[in-house]
Chains A and B, each alone.
Chain A
Amino acid sequence: MKRVGVFVCHCGINIASTVDVSRVVEDLHDYPGIAYIQDYKYMCSDPGQNLLKEAIKSEKLDAVVIAACSPTLHENTFRLAVQTVGMNPYNCEIANIREQCSWVHKDRTVATEKAKRIIRAVVEKALLDESLEPIKVPVVRKAVVLGGGIAGIQAALNIANSDYEVILVEKQSSIGGRMAQLSETFPTLDCSQCILTPKMVDVAQHPKIRLLTYAELADVSGFVGNFKVKIRQKARYVDWDKCTGCGLCIEKCPQKVASEFDQGLGKRKAIFTPFAQAVPNKPVIDCDNCTYFKTGKCRVCEKLCPFEAINFVETDTYIEEEVGAIVVATGYDVYPVLNMGEYGSGKIPDVVDGLTFERLLSSSGPTGGEVRRPSDGKIPKEIVFIKCVGSRDPEHHFPYCSKICCMYTTKHAMLYKHRVPDGQPYIFYMDVRAGGKGYEEFYQRAQDEDKVLFLRGKVSKLYQDDDKVVVCGIDTLSGSNVEIRADLVVLAMAIRPSKGIEELAKLLKISIDQNGFLTEAHPKLRPVESLSAGIYLAGCAQAPKDIPDTVAQATATAAMVANLFAKEYLLHDPIITGVDEELCSGCGLCVAVCPYDARKTNREKGLVEVNEVLCEACGACAAACPSGAAQQRNFTDEQLNRMVRAILTT
């Protein structure tokens, strides 16, 4: 029989005041299976650990039971200690007599009896514990980044700069995302494209980055360090290997459609790049709007292309890759004005959302940066901005703060004032949240230098009257209802996780919160990890955030990926549930209950097989198995039975 040593900790008075420790030692002294027993004031202290190590050597112990606090606190401490004197760490067990005994009882006699039973049960377990070695899993040192906005760009560049390969997947034909649509950025007012496009070019030119645009994730399987991803490359109808991006096809294409990049304000062709600085700067054919696809006639682009790059019969293709880590950076969408009945449901042309106003301010936008209203192209002289539209409204829309609106609306009003010095901007707000480096100063500047008039309150309704939009609101600071006849109204709409996030989350087996954003592993201490190992989160897919926060989070995901890739092997806890091939009938009950997809039926062998790396040792399969073939290591049926018996015996 194994020689088991028991060490009972007083934990100062935490245990000793309720549990009679010397009585426990005395009563258990002759318990069969206990070769050695001792108590000590603080087992976790250096002298306590030394005492443990000495006893293992002098008493030739095969296993030890530390009766002390919860294993979440010091199991690792003691396992490391026993390892230094050559004991396998899985022969070190914790009997929790603090959280589960001394802290929850007052009666000393009862608590002492309970402590003894807990210790006896764990001794029974320790007698049958096997020595185990961690399972080594090789790591594929290549990452995939989903989403080519500023978050994805930053993550990809940082991972690639750590010398690991990256695949960057973007659903549009160009990377750049929402940031490429912005005019100038708060609080410094530097041009968004000017700071973004160099990074886009870096991505395209980086030898470690494989850029897949007009593509999306189709399937994923595997686990941390060993994912298999399947990426759908949508048909572009243009052979990018041949295309030089000369733009002749775009110029001559007869079909014009509203430009998504310009929020519908400008036009693009049916063969197009979303914007002039696109990366890659090569066009795709929008088959829903292409004249040839709709009527069977045209093919102007094909006739004109000097490089014979047009290919109308191209189909979607699939690319399969093995990767070790996944970064999800799929960004956000703007909640449509359509949902706001009181603000005209999107039917009043001079009521636009914030992103549309960005295009009106942008020097590369449809008006060349002149603020001209959509209805008649006039320069608005009085402009109303409304904040918290759809945000902070749990009754009708969303409960959360969209975070970026306070600052971008202040920026909008400021940039408007710079473009139209004799114009008057008004901002309706509920609170001003200007927490961020230089943000409060920026907000104050808008007030005292640019004379932006902040009105504290909501706008209850607005309507068209002649060529004006009448805005009915309140200024709760002065206690008066106010009415403004505005030329243009800009709504700071709530931001939502981008379309398709639910499907993506399902595919990746990561969770989303009640508002649809991806859930981080811990709101404070693990803010960039998902709950699935090897999948990291960056940018607005996780929560609304501005560019500095997004860049910081994306950089953090890259650090996490580099951290993962720095090791040749990942070590997986060897406590898993295996299969006894002699007993298994291949019934598959365990396969159905496994929440981690760790078990698969092998029909040829008539057996169930286990992927040890995916197994998280929850024990569901062991409970479901009718034959006892599924046994969890060091938690076998026999061990558990003997533990229960030890607890129930007086």
Chain B
Amino acid sequence: MSKNKTISAHRISSDRIDQLHEISGVNVYACYQCGNCSAACPAVEFMDPTPHQVIRKIQLGFIDELTTSETPWICAACITCTVKCPRGVDIAKVMEGLRQIVLRSDFEHGHLCDIDEKMRKKLPQIALIGNFRKTIL
């Protein structure tokens, strides 16, 4: 995240944040930034921002930085983060919410049919399941 941000009530409760809350049904304000989600995430080394940073950015209202980031797509929806969270924040659902926000504005993002057959056969099953979760409305 770049330096010097202006935080405001307007930004914190913007329409896109409301949309995220509506889709995911998760209260991100319960998060106290312990970082357990990021510590446990099996894919964290490929992510920027990491799961707890994703939640922090939502708390501060910087959702635009997330819809353009790779993190929600790297997420395999294994829900380790959700299981680990001491405050009951369903981080996996938040990731799904972010993906939905992108998909609802851009249907062509990462469609299953775009993957050629050769690659598809090599992909592990969990990746395919994850992909279904990510792309099917």
Question: B56: CB under 8 A from chain A?
Answer: yes
> Known contacts A448-B27, A453-B12: does B6 contact A478 (CB below 8 Å)?
no
Question: Is there an interface contact between A448 and B9, defined as CB atoms closer than 8 Å?
Answer: no
Binds B, one of A36-44, A405-413, A481-489: A481-489
Distance (Å) between the CB of A557 and the closest chain B CB?
37
Nearest to B49 among chain A residues (CB) is: A478
* Residues of B94-126 contacting chain A, CB below 8 A: none
Return chain B residues, CB-CB under 8 Å to A444: 30, 32, 87
Q: How far is the CA of A447 from the CA of B88 in the complex (A)?
A: 13
B6–A456 CB distance below 8 A: no
Closest chain-B Cβ to A440's Cβ sits at a distance in Å of 10
Partner of A453, one of B1, B2, B27, B60: B60
Is there an interface contact between B60 and A475, defined as CB atoms closer than 8 Å? yes
Are A381 and B9 in touch, CB under 8 angstroms? yes
A-side contacts of B5, CB under 8 Å: 480-483
Given contact pairs A448-B27, A451-B29, A483-B5, A478 touches B12 in the complex (Cβ within 8 A):
no
Q: Which residues of A contact B4 (CB under 8 A)?
A: 480-483
Give the complex CA separation of A451 and B88 in angstroms.
15
Report chain A residues within 8 Å CB of B6: 482-485
Set of chain A residues within 8 Å of B12, measured between Cβ atoms: 424, 453
Establish whether residues A424 and B87, one from each chain, have CB atoms under 8 Å apart when the complex forms. Answer: no
Is A424 in contact with B9, judged by CB distance below 8 angstroms?
A: yes
Residue in B closest to A473 when the chains form the complex, CB atoms: B7
Give Cα distance in the complex from A456 to B8, angstroms.
Answer: 16
Complex contact A447–B9 (CB within 8 A): no
What 1/0 mask marks residues of chain A from 464 to 485 whose CB sits below 8 Å from any chain B CB? 0000000000010111111111
Contacts of B7 in A (CB 8 A): 426, 453, 455, 482-484
Complex Cα spacing A451 to B58, Å: 12
In this complex, what residue of B is CB-closest to A447? Answer: B29
Within 8 A of B (CB), among A427-483: 444, 447-448, 451-456, 475, 477-483
| With known contacts A447-B29, A453-B60, A480-B1, A382–B87 Cβ distance under 8 A | no
What string of 1s and 0s marks CB contacts (under 8 Å) between B2-44 and chain A?
1111111100110000000000000101111100000000000
State the Cβ distance, B105 to closest chain A Cβ, in Å. 25
A367-405 CB mask vs B (1 if < 8 Å, else 0) is 000000000000001100000000000000000000000
A423 on interface, CB distance cutoff 8 Å: yes
Contacts of B13 in A (CB 8 A): 424
B67 within 8 A of A: no
The answer for the CA separation of A76 and B31 in the assembled complex, in Å, is 58
B135 is an interface residue with CB less than 8 A from chain A: no
Q: Are B3 and A478 in contact (CB under 8 A)?
A: no
Beyond the given A448-B29, A475-B56, please list 8 additional residue pairs across the A-B interface where CB-CB is below 8 A. Answer: A424-B8, A426-B7, A444-B30, A453-B60, A480-B4, A482-B4, A485-B6, A485-B8
Residue ranges of B at the interface with A (Cβ–Cβ < 8 Å): 1-9, 12-13, 27, 29-33, 53, 56-57, 59-60, 87
Give 23 CB contacts A-B under 8 Å.
A382-B9, A424-B8, A424-B13, A426-B7, A444-B32, A447-B29, A448-B29, A451-B29, A453-B12, A453-B59, A453-B60, A456-B33, A475-B60, A478-B53, A478-B60, A480-B1, A480-B4, A481-B4, A482-B5, A482-B6, A483-B7, A484-B8, A485-B6
Which A residues are within 8 Å of any B CB, using their own CB? 381-382, 423-424, 426, 444, 447-448, 451-456, 475, 477-485
